[in-house]
């Protein structure tokens, strides 16, 4: 048996954050990693997808430039193989850079390659060796959810965000099942690169938005680029003729299926049942999101593995919270979480911040909606006057509580408004800030004025 003060499970965003902090205090630790190195973001998430989106948008807008007087756009072509090779080049650059900067120089005794499994609350089994740790930080990330039946039926024609970027040649026709953030980003990018895309979402809402008007507006805008079907699940049928998606009496033939119905925390093989705490229906242990501590144990879970806010910047924050509390244990301190912020990098962009529409106590709130098609000069001249801004405020205090947005440059607009929510600014105070002309932010000013009128 080997005894250490700290054990870090996983070398992703959480694990590397923990490693950086713990190394400043002690060398009595072990980082345990199963599988390839590189964070989910750099390897199969944020960064390769943005490289794909960037190339797709270049081609898409180049073809549309005919509308502003650019000639010759009817003859443009895209080299899909070159695009995918470029995506992998950037992916490899990010992952190798992270590894070189964080784990390449780790002493052999501080890095253990293999899968960790709890055999007791303070003991882990790795490659047959028992590691007894005083404090443990779990950052094992997440994996795409894929029904076993679909794996069996589709075989090599099944794609997820884990293997899509490995394609040398893109399929001619693809079904995207699950139109959340990942499904929409990849689906739109593939469509803009010339793939025939059909999108399916079992729920009535796409991209995780909850405001009914935002959801309807987004679905309408997406339908201009590829087919979108919501509100019903689909069945997959595979025979000698190929792949067929069945939805009631409708049938769709495709060459591949991209499954983006969600991700699940990588905890199935961790042996959490040996922690002595009651697990929930998904096999997750109870933890405090302000401390990241599991029950009252010297064990902390963070990032995608916790399932709380599976976004990279949240994983970094949670990794820090978990590590500082592991260092201070048993003097664990609660940390006020930052304002929630989520972004989908489609066009028009989708973003939410603060409270979501489904989280509002409606009797105590007012909401306002501003359609960009109404009157925003900058959006009109840039052919970006498609979208909707929905903002929520507290009746009593007048503070901005949150919002859901679909519009171009939503990623930047949402950041500014998230900062206002975190600073607990009132709608009146925000309206006292300068709004230049002509800019897209004037649409935010218009929405805020509508919200202010309702408050008054």
Strand positions, DSSP E, 34-126:
111-113, 116-120, 123-126
Instruction: Kindly state the DSSP code that residue 338 receives in the 8-state scheme.
Output: P
pLDDT at 404: 97
pLDDT at 440: 94
pLDDT at 240: 82
Handedness of CA 155, 159, 163, 169 (dihedral sign): positive
Rounded to whole angstroms, the Cα distance separating 216 from 211 reads 9
pLDDT at 102: 82
Q: Are strands 29-33 and 2-9 parallel, antiparallel or unpaired?
A: parallel
pLDDT at 42: 78
Rounded to whole angstroms, the Cα distance separating 199 from 371 reads 25
pLDDT at 41: 84
For each of the chain's 456 residues, which pLDDT tens digit applies? 999 999 999 999 999 999 999 999 999 999 999 988 878 887 888 899 999 999 999 999 999 999 999 999 999 999 999 999 999 999 989 888 887 778 888 999 999 999 999 999 999 999 999 999 999 999 999 999 999 999 999 999 999 999 999 999 999 999 999 999 999 999 999 999 999 999 999 999 999 899 999 988 998 999 999 999 999 999 999 988 899 999 988 999 999 999 999 999 999 999 999 999 999 998 999 999 999 999 999 999 999 999 999 998 999 999 999 999 999 999 999 999 999 999 999 999 999 999 999 999 999 999 999 999 877 889 989 999 999 999 999 999 999 999 999 999 999 999 999 999 999 999 999 999 999 999 999 999 999 999 999 998
pLDDT at 98: 83
Count of other CB atoms within 10 angstroms of residue 118: 21
Cis peptide before 330 (omega within 30 of 0): yes
Instruction: Give 138: exposed, middle or buried? Use CB within 10 Å, 0-12, 13-18, 19+.
Output: buried
- The token pair that represents 274 in the structure block: 């040996």
pLDDT at 39: 83
Buried b (16+ CB within 10 A) or exposed e, 296-312: ebbbbbbbbbbbbbbbb
Q: 409, 442 in Cβ contact below 8 A?
A: no
Residue 296 neighbours by CB under 8 Å, 6+ apart:
none
Nearest one of 289, 291, 286, 292 to 333, comparing CA atoms: 291
Coil/strand/helix, residue 327: helix
Strand positions, DSSP E, 234-371:
235-239, 242-247, 250-254, 256-259, 263-265, 299-301, 341-344, 349-354, 365-371
The number of residues in the chain equals 456
Instruction: Kindly state the DSSP code that residue 340 receives in the 8-state scheme.
Output: P
Q: 141, 266 in Cβ contact below 8 A?
A: yes
pLDDT at 132: 98
Instruction: Give Cα 11 to chain centroid, integer Å.
Output: 19
């Amino acid at each position: 048996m080997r005894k250490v003060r700290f054990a870090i499970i996983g070398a992703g965003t959480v694990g590397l954050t923990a490693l950086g902090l713990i190394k400043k205090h002690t060398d009595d630790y072990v980082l345990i990693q199963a599988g390839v190195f590189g964070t989910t973001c750099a390897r199969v998430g944020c960064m390769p997808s943005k490289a794909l989106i960037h190339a797709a948008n270049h081609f898409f807008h180049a073809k549309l430039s005919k509308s502003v007087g650019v000639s010759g756009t009817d003859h443009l072509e895209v080299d899909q193989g070159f695009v995918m090779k470029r995506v992998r080049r950037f992916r490899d650059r990010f992952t190798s850079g992270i590894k070189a900067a964080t784990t390449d120089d780790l002493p052999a005794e501080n890095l253990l390659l293999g899968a960790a499994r709890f055999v007791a609350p303070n003991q882990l089994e790795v490659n047959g060796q028992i590691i007894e740790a005083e404090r443990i930080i779990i950052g094992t990330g997440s994996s795409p959810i894929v029904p076993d039946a679909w794996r069996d039926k589709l075989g090599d024609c099944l794609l997820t965000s884990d293997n899509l970027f490995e394609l040398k040649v893109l399929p001619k026709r693809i079904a995207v099942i699950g139109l959340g953030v990942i499904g929409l980003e990849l689906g739109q990018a593939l469509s803009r690169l010339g793939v025939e895309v059909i999108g399916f979402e079992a729920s009535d809402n796409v991209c995780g938005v909850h405001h009914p008007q935002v959801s309807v507006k987004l679905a309408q805008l997406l339908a201009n680029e590829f087919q979108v079907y919501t509100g019903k699940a689909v069945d997959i049928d595979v025979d000698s003729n190929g792949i067929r998606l069945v939805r009631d009496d409708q049938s769709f033939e495709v060459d591949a299926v991209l499954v983006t119905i969600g991700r699940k925390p990588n905890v199935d093989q961790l042996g959490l049942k040996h922690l002595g705490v009651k697990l929930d229906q998904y096999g997750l242990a109870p933890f405090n999101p302000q401390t990241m501590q599991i029950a009252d144990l010297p064990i902390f879970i963070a990032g995608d593995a916790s399932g709380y806010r599976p976004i990279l910047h949240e994983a970094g924050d949670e990794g820090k919270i978990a590590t500082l509390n592991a260092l201070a244990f048993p003097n664990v301190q609660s940390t006020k979480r930052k304002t929630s912020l989520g972004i989908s990098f489609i066009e028009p962009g989708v973003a939410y911040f603060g409270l979501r529409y489904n989280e509002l106590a409606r009797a105590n709130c007012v909401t306002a909606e501003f359609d960009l098609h109404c009157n925003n000069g900058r959006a009109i001249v840039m052919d970006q006057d498609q979208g909707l801004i929905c903002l929520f405020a507290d009746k009593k205090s007048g503070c901005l509580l949150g919002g859901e947005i679909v519009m171009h440059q939503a990623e930047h607009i949402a950041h500014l408004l998230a900062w206002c929510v975190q600073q607990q600014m009132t709608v009146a105070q925000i309206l006292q800030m300068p709004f230049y002309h002509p800019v897209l932010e004037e649409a935010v000013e218009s929405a805020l004025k509508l919200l202010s009128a309702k408050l008054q």
